């Protein structure tokens, strides 16, 4: 697998897109009980990720950003939630979720030479979370069903389509302050979002990259794992590894798909500068 570590020209978009990942990782790294109502801190994170599902190249990113976490009963900015929590019961929760994917410069990706850059994408939309109960080893099972609109921060927040990303997660807190999570999910996209990654218009076709019309449907599969550990009350470390596959996907035959499976990894540390004495309600 080839790697590219050149910085994207859209630095502002990169920082904004990373904010959701930062808040989610920093929040997940903590114990689930008696959490502060709000926290302010900073995080340093290094990521090597597949340029897009099906690419044979990785792009590298390193950043340091502030983060803000708020755990209100209704207003939330915590663990991938952003905005309003509409409903919560012992088994179900409905909220507005957010996710982000870093952009990449097409000139750094051989399959996309001469094509538009892949911008930093941010996803916003409702998410249903379902607590499935206890799992082996003292862990818990959870299912999530996010439906999200996708916007390109590198292009004035232009709408790029819709995605549906159901996911099954296993979480476990072990001795010594370690926490682990394993997730298995899939991504279903409409034609507009699929075209962002896989369509080749006739004017951009070459001898080795024929024209291709992207199809809606299964975009890919994801298997991921993450870990975190509190080093002291203010410092935490966290990391993740993820495998993405386009096997059996609607656009597996696109000329932009160069390999079926690719990997992404990340490692970071978070520092909490200030926190409230008031505890969150849940």
For tokens 């099906």, name the residue: 54
Q: pTM for the full model?
A: 0.80
Q: Provide the number of structural domains found in the chain.
A: 1
Domain interval for residue 95: 2-275
Does residue 282 sit within a domain? no
Does residue 281 sit within a domain? no
Does residue 220 sit within a domain? yes
Q: Find out whether 69 and 77 touch, Cβ atoms under 8 Å.
A: yes
Q: Find out whether 15 and 63 touch, Cβ atoms under 8 Å.
A: yes
13-71, pLDDT tens digit by residue?
333 333 444 444 444 444 445 688 889 999 999 989 888 899 998 888 888 989 888 88
What pLDDT score does 282 carry? 67
Q: Report the share of the chain in percent with pLDDT over 70.
A: 85
Does residue 280 sit within a domain? no
Q: Report the share of the chain in percent with pLDDT over 90.
A: 55
Does residue 247 sit within a domain? yes
Nearest to 59 by CA among 12, 100, 1, 146: 1
Residue 51 sits in a domain whose CATH number is 2.40.230
The DSSP secondary structure of 57-117, one letter per residue, reads EEEEEEEEEEEEEEE-SSEEEETTEEEEEEEE-SSEEEEEEEEEE--B-GGG-GGGTTSPP
96-123, pLDDT tens digit by residue?
878 877 778 888 899 999 999 888 889 9
Q: Find out whether 196 and 123 touch, Cβ atoms under 8 Å.
A: no
Q: pLDDT category, 205, cuts 50, 70, 90?
A: very high
The mean per-residue pLDDT over the stretch 68-95 comes to: 78
For tokens 């549906």, name the residue: 164
Which tokens sit at 184?
């298995």
């Amino acid at each position: 697998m080839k790697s590219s570590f050149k910085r994207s020209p859209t630095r502002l978009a990169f920082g904004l897109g990373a904010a959701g990942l930062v808040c989610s990782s920093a929040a997940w790294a903590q114990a689930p009980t008696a959490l502060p109502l709000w926290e302010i801190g900073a995080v340093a994170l290094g990521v090597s990720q597949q340029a897009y599902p099906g690419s044979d190249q990785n792009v590298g990113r390193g950043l340091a950003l502030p983060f803000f976490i708020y755990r209100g009963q209704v207003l939330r900015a915590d663990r991938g939630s952003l905005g309003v929590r509409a409903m919560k019961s012992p088994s179900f929760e409905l909220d507005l979720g957010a996710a982000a994917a870093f952009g990449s410069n097409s000139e750094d990706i051989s399959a996309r030479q001469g094509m538009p850059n892949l911008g930093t994408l941010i996803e916003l939309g409702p998410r249903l979370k379902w607590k499935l109960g206890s799992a082996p080893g003292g862990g818990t099972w959870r299912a999530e069903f996010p439906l999200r609109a996708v916007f390109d921060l590198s292009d004035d927040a232009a709408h790029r389509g819709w995605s549906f990303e159901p996911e099954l997660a296993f979480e476990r807190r072990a001795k010594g302050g370690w926490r682990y999570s394993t997730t298995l999910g899939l991504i279903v996209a409409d034609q507009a979002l699929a075209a962002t990654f896989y369509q080749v218009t006739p004017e951009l076709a070459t001898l080795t990259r024929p024209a291709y019309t992207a199809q809606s449907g299964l975009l890919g599969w994801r298997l991921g794992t993450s870990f975190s550990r509190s080093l002291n009350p203010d410092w935490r470390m966290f990391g993740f590894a993820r495998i993405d596959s386009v096997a059996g996907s609607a656009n597996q035959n696109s000329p932009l798909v160069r390999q079926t499976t690719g990997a992404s990894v990340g490692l970071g540390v978070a520092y909490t500068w200030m926190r409230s004495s008031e505890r969150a309600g849940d």
